[in-house]
Amino acid sequence: MRLALGVRYNGRAYDGWQSQPSGKTVQDKLEAALAAFAVQPISTLCAGRTDSGVHGLMQVVHFDTEVERTPFSWVRGTNRFLPEDIAVQWAHPVPKAFHCRASALTRRYLYVLSQSPVRPSLEAGRVGWTMYPLDGDAMRAAAQILLGQHDFSSFRASACQALSPVKDMRRIEIERDGQGERCRWYFEFEADAFLHHMIRNIMGCLVRVGQGQAKPEWMREVLQARSRIAAAPTFSPAGLYFLGPQYGPEWGLPPEVTLGGAAAAYHGPP
């Protein structure tokens, strides 16, 4: 039997998603909890790897098992063995043809950025931070340049293992909550797939434009350079959330991960 799980986690305490010898990753914790519940080893695959400090609002994984339990039992049983900052949200049987990564039609990320003269305290690790005011119109103009299918090599980490730097950026939305020198910004990105550090590198460029250190047209120069040295430094992982993949309705998955359904949304910590 193949099962798909929806998983939510706070990534601050972990060395990213992917399993490492240290055992201090979200995948390591999830697989240990699944093994404890199923009383046998279980290996998982995920829809999108996240870096150290990056959070997952709706990560999707799949695995194969001979253990027969109800979907509700997989949720409650696995959560019993997970740390408090990781929780399975749902479990759903899927056909063998389903692959959480290859079957995904699109992926969504959110970056939550605090604009304040003082660094975050209660929100530390859950929001990014800038002490300088940002120009929303300038950032939106720069973001429009990135829409469509492009070679995103300028926003690609040197350790990226993707076979191609060409991705289709389908949507970037930038919203502001609050007025004055203290407010919060929300940057939502949707593409067919993303490169390693791609969002954080784009965020570094958008913030540079928003602070008036570069014109919106500079984003086109960065994109066309196809060189990482042309872009701004990689931005903090603290405010980055994987909102999750989206699949076709034929898989019968919950609406928050199905195209046309009630997609997962998040507007940051209170």
pLDDT digits (tens, 9 = 90+) for 72-126: 999 999 999 999 999 999 999 999 999 999 999 999 999 999 999 999 999 999 9
Residues 6+ positions from 193 with CB-CB distance below 8 Å = 104, 107, 162, 167
Alpha helices in the chain (DSSP H): 26-38, 71-80, 136-144, 198-210, 218-225
Q: Which of 68-72, 189-193, 213-217, 258-262 has the lowest mean pLDDT?
A: 258-262
Q: Out of 51, 64, 85, 137, pick the active-site residue.
A: 51
- Look up tokens 């055992």; give the residue: 23
Place of tokens 């086109």: 220
Please provide the average confidence, as pLDDT, over all residues in the chain: 94
Q: What pLDDT does residue 63 have?
A: 98
Comparing CA positions, the residue from 242, 245, 256, 241 lying closest to residue 104 is 245
Q: Tell me, what's the pLDDT at 269?
A: 57
Res 268: pLDDT? 57
pLDDT score, position 233: 96
Instruction: Say what the pLDDT of residue 265 is.
Output: 60
Give percent of the chain with pLDDT exceeding 90: 91
Name all domains of the chain by residue range, CATH numbers in brackets. 2-103+247-257 (3.30.70.580), 106-238 (3.30.70.660)
Measure CA 132 to chain center.
Answer: 25
Query: Which pLDDT belongs to residue 239?
Result: 95
Is 168 catalytic? The answer is no
pLDDT value of position 179: 87
Please, what is the end-to-end C-alpha distance for the chain in angstroms?
40
Q: How confident is the model at residue 161 (pLDDT cuts 50, 70, 90)?
A: confident
* Structure-block tokens of residue 116: 């304040």
What is residue 270's predicted lDDT score, i.e. its pLDDT? 47
**pLDDT above 70 as % of the chain:** 96
**Which residue would you say has higher pLDDT here, 184 or 262?**
184
pLDDT of residue 260: 79
DSSP-derived 3-state class of residue 146: coil
Give mean pLDDT, residues 233-258: 95
What is the average per-residue pLDDT within 157-183?
Answer: 92
Question: Is the pLDDT score of 181 beyond 80?
Answer: yes
